[in-house]
Structure 1
């Protein structure tokens, strides 16, 4: 970084940071919020999916579900280690929050976070059996691929590196979900899967935040975002519509 350039100017011009000691307070707060949201969402998502493993109709499905749980937990651990470099108590972090806690199925909290952790709102809703879990995993898995495509270019280099390693594994989770839905559709699951798609669609969409939010602009200036909430939502909608079309399901 040039001596006559402020950190804010450096970041606005596409600069990157690589050490906690270089990070200004406001940047640190936003970076920690981004990491906590990812970690909490991965841990809550894994906890919810773990409870459904034994509902899988066969060994292949149960192995795929167990793999997803393991890998999501590992991804949370990778980012949590970076949080630890900023002083987070990583040992207490994992056991402090009620990762399996869920709201009633008919709750409607929009984008609101509950007070006990930073998980995305969608991970506060319970899964309703195997087919519902697979549909949720498809729609949310596609959302994660869109979000990680955005976040793997963040201006904090260690985190960008972690997200680049995580991204293809999370993309595979969405592929596994689609494969699982193909097998379910060989039976008589079409009506229940369509109902699940309609249930999860608005809840996954809400994970991208409000289209009216102006916060993305300040995050762009820090190199922590490139796109608006509306742009990310549109990318997810296109991917999700394409996936449902491939499955022969009506659009949610």
Structure 2
């Protein structure tokens, strides 16, 4: 989307609705600022929680190659969180306090019924409240959530706050690689019947929980964010894109 030059006589809401971009923390009006910070907080919290939750999988890895892949994912997700937290600090967020705000490795019980809405001040996506059980479970979750993350970031790279969009474009190839590493691990898991059956059970568990990360079909918040240029594609369209990609990959692996 091409950004339109900012006409000082144009209301900023109209400028954003026409594809305009903001480039400085000094520009955004209060409502935009609040929604942008909420969007960035969800990204940061999900990356921190994802990194912390996946850390145990390093020691579950069946081989050196898998251990290196898991370590890379843990490290890079934490790095992605810091990049966006740096942007939030431009708006006055205290990075040191933020890092201590929640126990990022904390998880609910496996069979908990967790509301997809954010939990208090913790803005991680609901899927990151569920615990991982073993290597196969971690790989399947990484694959399904990796596909979802790529779909979600492909939209956010068009965000109207240019510094955030720039960070998203920078981390997107790394998140794509995390997903690919997951598929490499899953290919090895499903190479035998026992592994495929275990993976099927994990897909059945994680698939609906990942699907919930796209939010409700009817979302007043999406309409609000779209007017600000912070979102462009509806929750249902994003969910459908993820489902199509997931179906293609899972069919190839005989997991769907």
In structure 1, the partner of 2:140 is 135
Stretches of 4+ moved more than 3 A in 1? none
Cα distance in 2, alignment partners of residues 113 and 10 from structure 1: 30
Q: Check conservation: 1:145, 1:170, Cα contact below 8 A.
A: yes
1:12 aligns with 2:17: yes
Q: Check conservation: 1:42, 1:73, Cα contact below 8 A.
A: yes
Cα distance in 2, alignment partners of residues 114 and 8 from structure 1: 30
| CA shift for structure 1 position 116 | 4.7
| CA shift for structure 1 position 92 | 1.3
| CA shift for structure 1 position 95 | 2.1
1:240 aligns with 2:251: no
Alignment gaps of 5+ in structure 1:
none
| CA shift for structure 1 position 109 | 1.4
TM-score by length of 2: 0.96
Alignment gaps of 5+ in structure 2:
1-5
| CA shift for structure 1 position 243 | 1.1
Secondary structure of 1:20's partner? coil
Give 2:211's match in structure 1, choosing from 193, 205, 211: 205
| CA shift for structure 1 position 176 | 0.6
| CA shift for structure 1 position 185 | 1.3
Give 1:59's match in structure 2, choosing from 52, 59, 64: 64
Equivalenced residue count is 250
Give 1:192's match in structure 2, choosing from 192, 195, 198: 198
Cα distance in 2, alignment partners of residues 236 and 110 from structure 1: 21
Cα distance in 2, alignment partners of residues 49 and 73 from structure 1: 11
| CA shift for structure 1 position 238 | 0.5
CA RMSD of aligned residues (A): 0.9
Cα distance in 1, alignment partners of residues 101 and 116 from structure 2: 23
TM-score by length of 1: 0.97
Q: Check conservation: 1:152, 1:163, Cα contact below 8 A.
A: yes
User: Which deviates further from its counterpart, 17-26 or 211-220?
Assistant: 211-220
In structure 2, the partner of 1:40 is 45
Secondary structure of 1:189's partner? helix
